[in-house]
Structure 1
């Protein structure tokens, strides 16, 4: 058996690691018999030389097996599903999708993450609801799935411990964007959930990790291939991430928009993603025969209120006081009776008359990140009340001096430079410019498992 330095040298020189060699590397991480500098060297070698599909598959399987693998009651066979997004601005899809899937008869043990760089984290959003506890043991997760059908939790200590080590070192070694390492990290965690079906929302565009459709498609194909190779029916949706999803960005504001969506008042782009991702999962589990029927069932669960009931039950099962959960889910509620409101609000005005052609989601996210929506380093608290609401839609005609963005902030106030950046995120044009732009749809392609 090759030593760790020999394995690093083999990969550095472009060799293909055998199943046994990949296993040796992952076991050394799990058993803490490898130095951080050696792990970092291997990550850089993988980043530079890549991995063939079989290597990536073995890496993922060994990562998945490095800790606890969940097991479910027999009667749930074929019904356990989840989704993963590669990160977006205002991406609140999970908050609507998990309860909608539960309302359609699925079991959804959604293990989510915190905010990364400029993208928001599902767990941070949910923690803006007082009492919401994202820390649940495997036994508690199973109990909540039995009674409610869905839960949204953080990664448990015993689930894929090798990924926790690799994830931290990928950040420190600038190897975050390695295709096999991304694939291994995402699919190992989902594989450890013992899923029937998994759908991936792979983003491309200005505000995404991958800027163009082709590189995002390469990642999607890697994820789908490795997921299916592990025995999880895996499909992917390629969706555009230039602006924002919905109108709100920021933790508690996104919870409010999610609740409004669950009450039947959701923005079109958010509902398009929820219905497509959910419909694909229903098709992959065999609960529906085609994608259009799946979309319809998910939409009906949201618009009809069944998903809202599941969200309320999930909040209570995860620690939210019954009265607070009921208040948030009731019609015509004052959300700020439960959620924290930012001390200050200000509105940005349009500099001229015209048609709204674009709002740059990346610029918006980067400024809000600095104002407290995100964190600069792991473990840092986020400010749940800071955020922004878009007051205009793409294609809308606006007069000069109209309010186009409402900013929610705490002290200190945003700097003149930050306000200037936000103002530049808006692009106005003429009716002719708007006509040249085609009907804007987020979902560009769907990849089904073979």
Structure 2
């Protein structure tokens, strides 16, 4: 078996489209790439062939399984005798998307066990791990034993991908990032699911975003990805569903690493923004159903709301902060006070209805210090923005729209200029669009 022949088979020739690959062919490529016998240039060619020719659900499932088996998997029952179902949620990424942070303690407070392996900021979108690490001494670099112990103790744990978990994904993703093949639906599906299955999840709820601030701009593209995720997960024996959600303007009032932790506290204190809470409850209710703690989504929403109202969800979050090395009292004491010393403000340049472009906002936040321009960059915990007025609000000229915080004077000035380009003013109120577009099961 030769890598070149497999690449040609998937690529196709002339007007003939690429063909479906066998399990043996996909295993040969993935295993060879991990052990070093297949070089970067051949894997790059294969990824491009998949980008243009696609993969069937069957092929995508095989690829996911091969990537999963390339390293260790976490067996929570074997490690700690924990009983499932274990339920997790994954978002395809957005701006101000802190949903995992309030969602996990809400659902865990109902008795559902949540193993959550999260990522760092990618492109213009924020990363859950970066946000959590803005909590002083919060440890996301857990080993398998620590991960299982914290789930046993607090109901959920947040960790990053270790070197031994799905190494095929780490290597392949690095190539995708530099070869223009990130947006391939089968490759995205295999990347997400290999990690989620490796963490020990029995059921998965996906938040697949579409719009200006999402990787999938159109509803049809997002729908295709959601279908691939759900059907591939189900083919691997996992209960699964997906919500298509809108990401044209940022979620919530705060964007930034610590600022989104602060807004998480507000959500759990019953003071969360309407859009953040709507999406949190929509996803959390489905996790509650998969976890056997709600009979349907309506029951799930009611129970999640009660968990917030009673204070149980906030207590669960603070339990987790302590278990993962942070200081809950210090975190609460910083609320509303912790800000970068490099601050500016933006004001309305004219009367009109405000519109906020999520993608441009995300790019501006990278330059403020929230995200990375390259993988070696360090993020700044206290950079970010606070919206005083939001998408669809009518504003008067001179009215304050944003508070802006940067990691340095230069970063502040650069980010502020880009934020001005993210704001626009309309004579007519923009159409209010649904946040949750549809569910795919």
Q: Could you say which residue in structure 2 is the equivalent of 1:437?
A: 431
The secondary structure found in structure 1 opposite 2:269 is: helix
CA-CA distance at 1:27 after TM superposition = 1.4
Q: Deviations over 1:154-191 (max 9, x none)?
A: 01222111111111111121111111111100011111
Give runs of aligned pairs for residues 37-436 of structure 1, distance below 5 A: 37-73=41-77, 76-320=82-326, 324-329=327-332, 333-335=333-335, 341-356=339-354, 358-413=355-410, 419-430=416-427, 433-434=428-429
Distance 1:81 1:257 in 2: 24
Task: Report if the CA contact (8 A) 2:243-2:437 is conserved.
Answer: yes
Q: Could you say which residue in structure 1 is the equivalent of 2:29?
A: 25
Q: Could you say if the C-alpha distance between residues 287 and 412 of structure 1 is closer, same or farther in structure 2, counting changes exceeding 3 Å?
A: same
Q: Could you say if the C-alpha distance between residues 46 and 238 of structure 1 is closer, same or farther in structure 2, counting changes exceeding 3 Å?
A: same
Stretch of structure 1 that moved more, 66-75 or 258-267: 66-75
Task: Report if the CA contact (8 A) 1:251-1:373 is conserved.
Answer: yes
Distance 1:58 1:414 in 2: 45
Q: Deviations over 1:286-318 (max 9, x none)?
A: 321211111121222223211111111111111
CA-CA distance at 1:385 after TM superposition = 1.2
Task: Report if the CA contact (8 A) 1:81-1:198 is conserved.
Answer: yes
Task: Report if the CA contact (8 A) 2:285-2:299 is conserved.
Answer: yes
Task: Report if the CA contact (8 A) 1:79-1:105 is conserved.
Answer: no
Task: Report if the CA contact (8 A) 1:109-1:152 is conserved.
Answer: yes
Distance 1:336 1:287 in 2: 34
Distance 2:393 2:56 in 1: 48
Q: Could you say which residue in structure 1 is the equivalent of 2:15?
A: none
CA-CA distance at 1:91 after TM superposition = 0.6
Distance 1:317 1:50 in 2: 43
The secondary structure found in structure 1 opposite 2:140 is: coil
Task: Report if the CA contact (8 A) 1:271-1:299 is conserved.
Answer: no
CA-CA distance at 1:334 after TM superposition = 3.7
The secondary structure found in structure 2 opposite 1:366 is: helix
Task: Report if the CA contact (8 A) 2:367-2:414 is conserved.
Answer: no
CA-CA distance at 1:361 after TM superposition = 1.5
Task: Report if the CA contact (8 A) 1:196-1:285 is conserved.
Answer: no
Task: Report if the CA contact (8 A) 2:112-2:293 is conserved.
Answer: no
Distance 2:72 2:260 in 1: 32
CA-CA distance at 1:198 after TM superposition = 0.3
Distance 1:410 1:42 in 2: 40
CA-CA distance at 1:377 after TM superposition = 1.7
Could you tell me the TM-score, scaled by structure 1's length?
0.92
The secondary structure found in structure 2 opposite 1:348 is: strand
CA-CA distance at 1:416 after TM superposition = 6.5
Ranges in structure 1 where 5+ consecutive residues have no aligned partner: none
Moved over 6 A (4+): none
Distance 1:241 1:135 in 2: 30
The secondary structure found in structure 2 opposite 1:202 is: strand
Distance 1:47 1:82 in 2: 28
The secondary structure found in structure 2 opposite 1:88 is: coil
Distance 2:34 2:413 in 1: 49
Ranges in structure 2 where 5+ consecutive residues have no aligned partner: 13-17
Q: Could you say if the C-alpha distance between residues 202 and 152 of structure 1 is closer, same or farther in structure 2, counting changes exceeding 3 Å?
A: same
Could you tell me the TM-score, scaled by structure 2's length?
0.94
Task: Report if the CA contact (8 A) 1:363-1:422 is conserved.
Answer: yes
Distance 1:40 1:420 in 2: 37
CA-CA distance at 1:336 after TM superposition = 6.8
RMSD: 1.8
The secondary structure found in structure 1 opposite 2:270 is: helix
Stretch of structure 1 that moved more, 199-208 or 157-166: 157-166
Stretch of structure 1 that moved more, 28-37 or 135-144: 28-37
Q: Could you say which residue in structure 2 is the equivalent of 1:7?
A: 6
Aligned residues: 434
CA-CA distance at 1:86 after TM superposition = 0.5
CA-CA distance at 1:395 after TM superposition = 3.7
Distance 2:133 2:334 in 1: 19
